[in-house]
């Protein structure tokens, strides 16, 4: 205790002498103030321009949407026939300028009610696709509005189609079940003056087995159902890819790969393992025949023009071949090795490309890994978003290799 | 759009105009006061002596012999006597919470690489242990130590005894009850569910009352001060006493803010706790003790002004940079980024003011461990602030957000800066409060080297690991698990560093307990009568 010492010997209390602020401090403050002002101005300006663009787009949308039937057209028709009605060369007939649209209102209504399955020639172009029937999903009033809208916008005909016209056509269609058998039947039944149409050949599409439908909706005891991730019609959602319209051998190969571990997926491995091989074959066949409209929309902020360039032409500077050079024109696939990529869910496409790039890093020299390794993140998003804007592969047009 | 754009412009331009006015006022000497006023509290030949009570004649390192007490020493004695009891209670509580809070921090750190450890009790799961750590060290250790130091320093720079010290003791009791209740609530799973605001708002009232009871004596002391000019530490302390209650009460009012608004208010509060509460507490202490120990003044009054007012102008809106990429208006985030970067101005001013005096007196830095603590803390304030301004930039934030990098940064500020400064202050203050030397002086150096070594490992591990983690998460060609796996050695390094820091805190606590156990020196207690 003796060495305790009372601290009374403080000699100093702090104070602040009057010295000037060093000049560099002022320079830094001024430089930062200028930077801050510019940053805020640039941000506000970008926000202002974006706001004006949003306003313009919203106004245009409002104008279009204000027309009766416009909402239905967008929801039901535009994913295939395109919002401007131009169709897809080689895949979906155009509405704009189509003689079918310009003809008597009953033609449009009856096509809407029955759908088309078979080859058709429109304005000199040949198509061989599948249009669904809307008889069960839309009522008379809705069909009347769509027909009115389509005829007014693409057929230059302002006369309205009334629900009673649709009701009459529906009564007629009850006596003519199934889709129109191509342009041939339409020409014979409704429009004798239509240009010559190709002959109809009976379709190979078979009605699905009820046990397969149960599998799709409810799954096996040991796994999820197909529909819980891929949607009721195989349209896909987010990371779960669109599988409708993919070729049967491709789908079967993937299911077997998931089950065997050759392709890894925490979600698909237990499902594929729980399926018997016969079920795999049946499911692959079922989904290959589904003509589901695209549910994919760009969602990754990818640059669509860059995506289009990569898909059509590739990027020779980076050694990236065009997607379509293998996956077929319009990305509709070349069975059995190259699956359709058009209308695929963008999150799936980007994730799959990243997965291929990972395989390349792990030493794989296979085709897709070596291509994907040259794509950076922005390119992956650009391709994925661009492909999502494309219409899906029309079923029934796949090359003969698939038909077995 | 015009309204929002206008708001951005007004909010930032007002700050810039104020900064310009301040610079003009400083350069044209509008804040003129005579040098005699500034120096009124010391005598002409008192400068330039090392003042470090941890160096006692016993270990033969005394730098000055026995000197006859002057009238200033008597005045100081009566001031110190008025603050001794409340400050002792505050510091005792703070050190207790430091030890408990560090233990929870260490448990949380270990759990990140030993996930199956201690997983049978709900209150020992990671989510709660981590929250308990944060709550205990922020509201227990840092806040109470900071208030205690402020309560000891403020009467000294006002040259007036502390008014109504009993209120402050009651305030400490309320604050402790609120903290214990809040900690138990969090351990039981009852929380407000917002980071930094986890203590249920029903309990927050106790903390608010406790804080108010601690603030009143200091404000009353300010009114009875015997000096005309208020030293820079006083500005920070008085401002913090105004800012924190406003922040704490507004952020805790239930039911006003929901959804994205709530997140915005949450981060406005959480960042301001650092910048407008812990920062002024730490800077106020550093501004007093660095020159005090060295015996030389800080660099410049003009820099003090610039540093204080630029903090006041720019800090309040920086928190929203935590929501970059979040669902809040872009202009709010951009404004926050700009304000964050503008923080370079006050930080540079404070850095010059404090570091120059240390750099010119490196002999003192080598001789005094309290000064080493405080000065290193001040250096880490500069580093943490620079790093924070850069992290607010979108390009950097893209990598560091949601990674351990941010955790390393938070500890650079809350530990490297404030805790280091407070350690040094307490080593200086307690001998003055008790009138006794440190009972276990060899532990002081051990404490210093343990926390310096431990924190270096901690910070380097998290900074490198966090950056690599961010790069891995951004690379879509690597699975998410890669970002987790690569982090493991860095997390283990963090636990090693954290264990060293906790060990240092135990040595510190042992010293404090041994000191308090011996009670106040009779001669020192006598001083309170004078």
Test A13 with B42 for CB contact under 8 angstroms: yes
The interface predicted TM-score of the complex, written ipTM, equals 0.74
Residue B43: predicted pLDDT: 47
- Host H or E run for residue A119: strand A116-122
How many Å apart are CA B147 and CA B89, to the nearest integer? 11
Contacts of B310 in chain A (CB under 8 A): 29
A201, part of any domain: no
Lowest mean pLDDT among A95-99, A394-398, B157-161, B458-462: A394-398
* Arithmetic mean of pLDDT, B85-102: 97
Residue A124: predicted pLDDT: 84
Question: In terms of domains, do A214 and A176 share one?
Answer: no
The closest alpha carbon to A302, from A237, A372, A236, A387, belongs to A387
Residue A337: what are its φ and ψ, rounded to 5°?
-80, -35
Residue of B nearest to A49 (CA): B1
Which CATH code for domain B71-230?
Answer: 1.20.120
Residue A257: predicted pLDDT: 92
Residue B65: predicted pLDDT: 45
Q: Token pair of B118, please?
A: 């201690």
CA dihedral B444, B446, B452, B458 (to 10 degrees): -130
Model pLDDT for residues B265-286, shown as the tens digit of each residue: 999 999 999 999 999 999 999 9
Test A16 with B341 for CB contact under 8 angstroms: no
pLDDT higher than threshold 50 for residue B63: no
Residue ending a domain, among A255, A289, A323, is A289
A27, part of any domain: no
- Host H or E run for residue A127: strand A125-131
Query: What band does B22 get if pLDDT is binned at 50, 70 and 90?
Result: confident
Query: Directed axis angle between helix B404-411 and helix B442-474, to 10°?
Result: 150
* Mutate which: A5, A9, A16, A359, vs B, most B CBs within 10 A: A16
pLDDT higher than threshold 60 for residue A269: yes
pLDDT higher than threshold 60 for residue B436: yes
Contacts of B26 in chain A (CB under 8 A): 21
Query: What band does A222 get if pLDDT is binned at 50, 70 and 90?
Result: low
A-B contacts at Cβ under 8 angstroms: 182
**B420 touches A: beta carbon within 8 Å:** no
Query: What band does B457 get if pLDDT is binned at 50, 70 and 90?
Result: very high
Which contacts of A216-219 are long-range, i.e. CB under 8 A and separated by 24 or more positions?
A216/A283, A216/A286, A219/A271
User: Sign of torsion, CA A279 A280 A285 A287?
Assistant: positive
A15, part of any domain: no
pLDDT higher than threshold 90 for residue B176: yes
Question: In terms of domains, do A308 and A264 share one?
Answer: no
How many Å apart are CA A351 and CA B333, to the nearest integer? 30
How many Å apart are CA A35 and CA A38, to the nearest integer? 5
pLDDT higher than threshold 50 for residue A54: yes
The closest alpha carbon to B226, from B433, B432, B41, belongs to B41
How many Å apart are CA A356 and CA A346, to the nearest integer? 15
Q: Is the pTM of this model over 0.80?
A: no
Question: In terms of domains, do A326 and A276 share one?
Answer: no
Residue B323: predicted pLDDT: 93
A268, part of any domain: yes
Residue of B nearest to A55 (CA): B1
Model pLDDT for residues A135-167, shown as the tens digit of each residue: 766 788 888 998 988 888 888 776 788 899 899
The closest alpha carbon to B322, from B267, B272, B279, belongs to B267
Residue B64: predicted pLDDT: 45
Rg (CA), chain B: 23
Contact A133, A178 (CB under 8 A): no
Domain definitions of chain B by residue range: 71-230
* Arithmetic mean of pLDDT, B514-518: 92
Residue A130: predicted pLDDT: 72
* Arithmetic mean of pLDDT, B391-400: 95
Residue ending a domain, among A189, A223, A258, is A189
Q: Token pair of B384, please?
A: 């943490």
pLDDT higher than threshold 70 for residue A9: no
Question: In terms of domains, do A138 and A220 share one?
Answer: no
Residue B61: predicted pLDDT: 42
pLDDT higher than threshold 70 for residue A394: no
Q: Token pair of B51, please?
A: 């003042």
- Host H or E run for residue B177: helix B165-187
How many Å apart are CA B172 and CA B96, to the nearest integer? 13
Contact A22, B349 (CB under 8 A): no
A256, part of any domain: yes
Lowest mean pLDDT among A382-391, B4-13, B102-111, B128-137: B4-13
The closest alpha carbon to B363, from B296, B426, B428, B448, belongs to B296
* Mutate which: A1, A3, A5, A7, vs B, most B CBs within 10 A: A7
Residue B38: predicted pLDDT: 52
Distances in whole angstroms, Cα of residue A400 to Cα of each of A281, A331, A334, B335: 18, 17, 10, 61
Which contacts of B457-460 are long-range, i.e. CB under 8 A and separated by 24 or more positions?
B457/B493, B457/B494, B457/B496, B457/B497, B457/B500, B458/B408, B458/B411, B458/B493, B458/B494, B458/B497, B458/B498, B458/B501, B459/B408, B459/B411, B459/B412, B459/B416, B459/B497, B460/B493
Residues of A with CB under 8 A from a CB of B: 3-22, 25-26, 28-29, 32-33, 35-37, 39-40, 43-44, 47-48, 51, 350-351, 354-355, 357-358, 361, 377, 380
Whether residue A307 is preceded by a cis peptide bond, meaning omega within 30 degrees of 0, is no
- Closest CA of chain B from A71, distance in Å: 29
pLDDT higher than threshold 60 for residue B527: no
pLDDT higher than threshold 50 for residue A400: no
Test B46 with A18 for CB contact under 8 angstroms: no
Contacts of B304 in chain A (CB under 8 A): 16
pLDDT higher than threshold 70 for residue A280: yes
Number of domains in chain A: 3
pLDDT higher than threshold 70 for residue B394: yes
Distances in whole angstroms, Cα of residue A30 to Cα of each of B16, B23, B345, B503: 9, 10, 9, 46
A98, part of any domain: yes
What rounded mean pLDDT belongs to chain B? 89
CA angle at B164 for the pair B159 and B165, rounded to the nearest 5°: 85
What rounded mean pLDDT belongs to chain A? 82
Q: Token pair of A18, please?
A: 């009057």
Question: In terms of domains, do A183 and A241 share one?
Answer: no
pLDDT higher than threshold 50 for residue B338: yes
The closest alpha carbon to A28, from B306, B56, B263, B464, belongs to B306
Q: CATH code at A102?
A: 1.10.760.10
The closest alpha carbon to B204, from B212, B123, B124, B145, belongs to B212
- Closest CA of chain A from B436, distance in Å: 5
Contacts of A377 in chain B (CB under 8 A): 474-476
CB-closest option in A18, A39, A377 to B301: A18
* Arithmetic mean of pLDDT, B2-17: 72
pLDDT higher than threshold 90 for residue B148: yes
How many Å apart are CA B119 and CA B101, to the nearest integer? 19
pLDDT higher than threshold 60 for residue B375: yes
Model pLDDT for residues B479-494, shown as the tens digit of each residue: 899 999 999 999 999 9
How many Å apart are CA B161 and CA B348, to the nearest integer? 34
pLDDT higher than threshold 80 for residue A7: no
The residue segments making up the domain with residue A235 are 210-289
Question: In terms of domains, do A284 and A308 share one?
Answer: no
- Looking only at the bridges linking them, the beta strands covering A125-131 and A116-122 are antiparallel
- A23 against B168, higher pLDDT: B168
pLDDT higher than threshold 60 for residue A401: no
CB-closest option in B46, B338, B523 to A6: B523
pLDDT higher than threshold 90 for residue A325: no
């Amino acid at each position: 205790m003796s060495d305790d010492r009372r601290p009374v010997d403080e000699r100093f209390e702090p104070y602040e002498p009057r010295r000037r602020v060093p000049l560099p401090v002022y320079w830094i403050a001024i430089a930062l103030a200028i930077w801050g002002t510019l940053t805020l101005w640039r941000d506000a300006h970008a926000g202002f321009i974006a706001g004006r663009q949003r306003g313009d787009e919203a106004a245009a949308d409002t104008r279009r949407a204000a027309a009766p039937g416009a909402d239905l057209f967008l929801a039901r028709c535009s994913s295939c026939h395109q919002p401007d009605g131009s169709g897809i060369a080689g895949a979906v007939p155009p509405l704009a300028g189509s003689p079918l649209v310009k003809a008597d209102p009953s033609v449009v209504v009856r096509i809407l009610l029955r759908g088309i399955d078979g080859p058709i020639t429109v304005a000199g172009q040949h198509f061989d696709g599948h249009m669904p029937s809307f008889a069960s999903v839309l009522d008379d009033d809705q069909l009347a509005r769509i027909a009115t809208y389509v005829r007014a916008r693409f057929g230059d005909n302002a006369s309205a189609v009334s629900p009673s016209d649709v009701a009459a056509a529906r009564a007629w269609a009850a006596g003519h079940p199934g889709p129109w058998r191509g342009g041939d039947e339409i020409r014979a039944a409704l429009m004798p003056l239509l240009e010559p149409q190709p002959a109809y050949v009976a379709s190979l599409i078979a009605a699905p087995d009820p046990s397969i439908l149960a599998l799709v909706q409810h799954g096996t005891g040991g796994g999820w159902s197909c529909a819980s991730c891929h949607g009721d019609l195989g349209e896909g959602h987010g990371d779960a890819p669109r599988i409708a319209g993919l070729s049967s051998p491709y789908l079967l190969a993937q299911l077997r790969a998931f089950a065997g571990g050759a392709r890894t997926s925490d979600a698909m491995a237990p499902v594929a393992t729980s399926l018997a091989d016969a079920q795999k074959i049946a499911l692959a066949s079922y989904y290959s025949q589904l003509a589901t409209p695209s549910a994919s929309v760009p969602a990754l902020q990818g640059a669509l023009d860059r995506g289009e360039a990569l898909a059509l032409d590739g990027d020779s500077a980076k050694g990236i071949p065009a997607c379509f050079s293998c996956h077929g024109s319009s990305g509709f696939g070349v069975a059995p090795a190259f699956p359709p990529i058009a209308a695929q869910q963008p999150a799936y496409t980007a994730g799959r490309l990243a997965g291929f790039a990972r395989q390349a890093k792990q030493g794989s020299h296979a085709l897709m890994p070596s291509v994907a390794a040259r794509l950076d993140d922005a390119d992956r998003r650009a391709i994925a978003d661009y492909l999502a804007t494309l219409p899906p592969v029309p079923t029934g047009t796949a090359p003969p290799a698939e038909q077995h | 759009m015009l309204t929002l754009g206008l708001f951005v412009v007004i909010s930032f331009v007002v700050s810039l105009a104020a900064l310009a006015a301040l610079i003009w006022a400083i350069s044209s000497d509008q804040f003129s006061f005579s040098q005699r006023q500034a120096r009124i509290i010391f005598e002409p030949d008192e400068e330039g002596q090392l003042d470090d009570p941890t160096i006692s004649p016993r270990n033969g390192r005394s730098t000055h012999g026995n000197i006859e007490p002057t009238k200033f020493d008597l005045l100081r004695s009566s001031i110190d006597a008025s603050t001794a009891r409340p400050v002792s209670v505050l510091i005792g509580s703070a050190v207790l919470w430091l030890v408990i809070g560090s233990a929870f921090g260490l448990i949380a750190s270990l759990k990140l690489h030993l996930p199956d450890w201690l997983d049978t009790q709900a209150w020992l799961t990671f989510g709660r242990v981590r929250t308990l750590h944060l709550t205990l060290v922020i509201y227990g250790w840092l806040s109470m130590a900071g208030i205690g130091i402020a309560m000891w320093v403020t009467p000294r720079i006002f040259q007036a005894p502390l008014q109504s010290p009993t209120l402050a003791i009651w305030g400490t009791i309320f604050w402790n009850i609120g903290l214990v209740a809040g900690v138990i609530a969090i351990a039981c799973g009852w929380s407000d569910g917002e980071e930094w605001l986890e203590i249920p708002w029903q309990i927050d009232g106790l903390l608010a009352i406790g804080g108010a009871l601690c603030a009143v004596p200091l404000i009353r002391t300010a009114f009875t001060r015997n000096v005309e000019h208020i030293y820079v530490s006083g500005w920070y302390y008085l401002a913090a006493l105004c800012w924190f209650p406003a922040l704490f009460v507004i952020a805790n009012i239930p039911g006003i803010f929901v959804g994205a608004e709530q997140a915005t208010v949450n981060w406005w509060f959480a960042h301001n706790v650092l910048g407008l509460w812990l920062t002024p507490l730490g800077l106020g202490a550093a501004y007093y003790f660095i020159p005090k120990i060295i015996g030389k003044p800080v660099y410049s009054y003009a820099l003090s002004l610039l540093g204080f007012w630029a903090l006041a102008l720019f800090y309040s809106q920086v928190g929203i940079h935590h929501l970059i990429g979040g669902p809040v208006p872009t202009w709010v985030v951009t404004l926050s980024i700009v304000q964050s970067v503008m923080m370079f101005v006050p930080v540079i001013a404070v850095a010059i003011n404090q570091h120059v005096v240390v750099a010119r007196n490196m002999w003192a830095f080598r001789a005094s461990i309290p000064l080493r603590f405080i000065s290193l803390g001040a250096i880490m304030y500069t580093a943490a602030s620079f790093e924070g301004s850069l992290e607010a930039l979108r390009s950097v934030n893209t990598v560091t957000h949601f990674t351990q990098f941010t955790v390393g940064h938070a500890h650079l500020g809350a530990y490297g800066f404030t805790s280091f400064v407070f350690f040094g202050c307490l080593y200086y203050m307690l001998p003055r409060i008790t009138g006794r030397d440190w009972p276990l002086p060899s532990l002081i150096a051990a404490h210093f080297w343990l926390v310096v070594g431990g924190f270096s490992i901690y910070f380097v591990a998290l900074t490198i690991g966090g950056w690599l983690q961010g790069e891995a998460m951004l690379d879509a060609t690597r699975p998410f698990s890669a970002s987790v796996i690569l982090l493991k050695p860095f997390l283990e390094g963090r636990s090693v560093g954290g264990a060293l820091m906790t060990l240092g805190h135990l040595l510190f606590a042992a010293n404090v307990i041994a000191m308090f156990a011996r009670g106040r020196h009779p001669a020192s207690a006598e001083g309170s009568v004078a």
